[in-house]
Structure 1
């Protein structure tokens, strides 16, 4: 028998998780915008808007220390960050375009080098996804193989019902454990009819065709046309659920400091600048081409996954109006 949870019990669940000393992160009104932030109570949860930034920050922070160093008695002492102190976390209220992104990033973060900072957070996190019943003309998750009701990446998936409650599906053992530990908040029953899901302007794209075109058109006037307006600000990468470029810097002095990981972006002019001064992507059209190639060819070549969830954030955030879905539609219709 399917299980349901009322909205009040969903908020009660957050209250209980906070009391259990879990880090609970979810959409929260912060000033005039909704962001993924730590929730201190169920009343903080906001479920009627897509957060401005993605939820990847829970697993892959904008900036984090990876070690500290200090010179003592003439010797340099290095201290690693104690990853065992990372908190048990629950991400709650993530739509499919956000809930699905860690499952995509897992591939690169556990590839030839295992990023234990990311992986430890993943191990200690449970994702409660929720189907989308709202959206705008920037949403295109269906076009890249997801959907407003896609359960991929969620441990527990909630489907909004017309009576205000949620149908629950425990997708993984983590989801089952979350329900079992708070069984009194869930009830058996078929529930009411689901709310209608979001319609999207962009139809499903032929990603195989797009990848083939990219393979055969590394040099194409399209890249220069886009680059004529791209300002290389990096907003698209920083706001994306799937972009994962980073840099590592030592901050402090020769005697005392920290080594930190910071987000970076392939759209920045110096991202590929060599110590010799040579830059293989020295102009913007090469940098934007790499962005599209990485998402729809290179990542697929390596891991069999598309590095895009169709959230539309890059479209909304771009200061000059570059629309990645429109670019993909253009490529999708090309015959040569």
Structure 2
């Protein structure tokens, strides 16, 4: 169902949700950096920049407590964190590359084990997506099968219009409920044309060819050159909307402390470091190989889709200038060369 909402009414919608005690998370500026963070009021929202980190933090926080412990004498008290205390949340201004990653994470956190922390936050969150009208050289969503106006993962999807305001398309029962509960702020479509959409990089590589090469080249000299610049800092994983590795650690003293779930990254040296001292990924090329394999082979093998949405954050923030899209393009060319040789 399509509706129209003016910018003024959209701000009024967000302010109303905040006044109701809901956690409204949207892009906002913090110390010069745009991040997805809770708003105090709609005026704080920034809608013309992609946040440095992704919207996954609304469901998968960088750090979170899952249990506390306290010891007095011989008595030990354990207390689980109650996920039902999580606030109702509206995640606003989510670009298609971020929104499309949310179903990807859903599959991981509800597969063989259901992560109640992630799933409870997902259940309590309504996602308002926003079409992209600008892109830079790092954007490549169209190369991985998405578009700048792809509503996948959103409950309500907004498209900016030339005359101001947004065309609104409900995508789920949550989106329909949001509109129905605030129907005085929405109107019939006003006939304005959508603003021109962004034009990300496209046609750089063929995902099927990349996957075919990865299927047959776990051991290949090419990995040494592909990963030669990687320093294992983990920045790419921490800004990615689809990466989901985490560690669980106990922090505290003998008397009291907490068990915490913290983000982790397969690019870190200790990620696969065994207690025996053995590390099956003891060199950086092996660790970077796993990153590429996980995104474009392993996840596809398991769930039938890629673990990348082409947001370009890893390209923008890599301290040594690694461009994952260029790497995939190089792999694509290797595969093409192999086929040519086979047919000659």
Give the TM-score normalised by the residue count of structure 1: 0.98
Residues 5 and 186, structure 1, Cα contact 8 Å, conserved in 2:
yes
Aligned twin of 2:153: 153
The number of residues matched between the two structures is 336
Residues 39 and 45, structure 2, Cα contact 8 Å, conserved in 1:
yes
Aligned twin of 1:253: 253
Residues 23 and 88, structure 2, Cα contact 8 Å, conserved in 1:
yes
SS in 2 for 1:129: strand
Q: Give the C-alpha shift of residue 189 in structure 1.
A: 2.0
SS in 2 for 1:112: coil
Q: Give the C-alpha shift of residue 206 in structure 1.
A: 2.2
Residues 2 and 170, structure 2, Cα contact 8 Å, conserved in 1:
no
Aligned twin of 1:53: 53
Q: Give the C-alpha shift of residue 190 in structure 1.
A: 4.3
Q: Give the C-alpha shift of residue 105 in structure 1.
A: 0.4
Q: Give the C-alpha shift of residue 209 in structure 1.
A: 1.7
Residue 308 in 1 paired to residue 281 in 2? Answer: no
1:1-336 residue pairs with structure 2 within 5 A?
2-203=2-203, 205-334=205-334, 335=336, 336=338
SS in 1 for 2:271: coil
Partners of 1:101 and 1:122 in 2: CA distance: 13
Q: CA RMSD in A?
A: 1.1
Partners of 1:6 and 1:129 in 2: CA distance: 16
Please identify, of 236-245 and 202-211, the stretch whose mean Cα deviation from structure 2 is larger: 202-211
SS in 1 for 2:84: helix
Q: Give the C-alpha shift of residue 204 in structure 1.
A: 6.1
Partners of 1:157 and 1:323 in 2: CA distance: 30
Following TM superposition, the consecutive aligned residue runs of length 4 or more in structure 1 with deviations greater than 2 angstroms are: 333-336
SS in 2 for 1:258: strand
Residues 267 and 291, structure 1, Cα contact 8 Å, conserved in 2:
yes
Q: Give the C-alpha shift of residue 202 in structure 1.
A: 3.2
Q: Give the C-alpha shift of residue 73 in structure 1.
A: 4.6
Residues 167 and 191, structure 1, Cα contact 8 Å, conserved in 2:
no
SS in 2 for 1:188: coil
In structure 1, runs of 5+ residues without a counterpart are none
Partners of 1:121 and 1:305 in 2: CA distance: 23
User: What whole-Å deviation, never above 9, does each CA across 1:29-66 have from its counterpart, x for those lacking one?
Assistant: 22222111101111111111111111111110000000
User: What whole-Å deviation, never above 9, does each CA across 1:115-167 have from its counterpart, x for those lacking one?
Assistant: 11000000000000000001100000011111100000000000111011100
Residues 89 and 125, structure 1, Cα contact 8 Å, conserved in 2:
yes
Give the TM-score normalised by the residue count of structure 2: 0.95
User: What whole-Å deviation, never above 9, does each CA across 1:5-30 have from its counterpart, x for those lacking one?
Assistant: 01111111110000110000001122
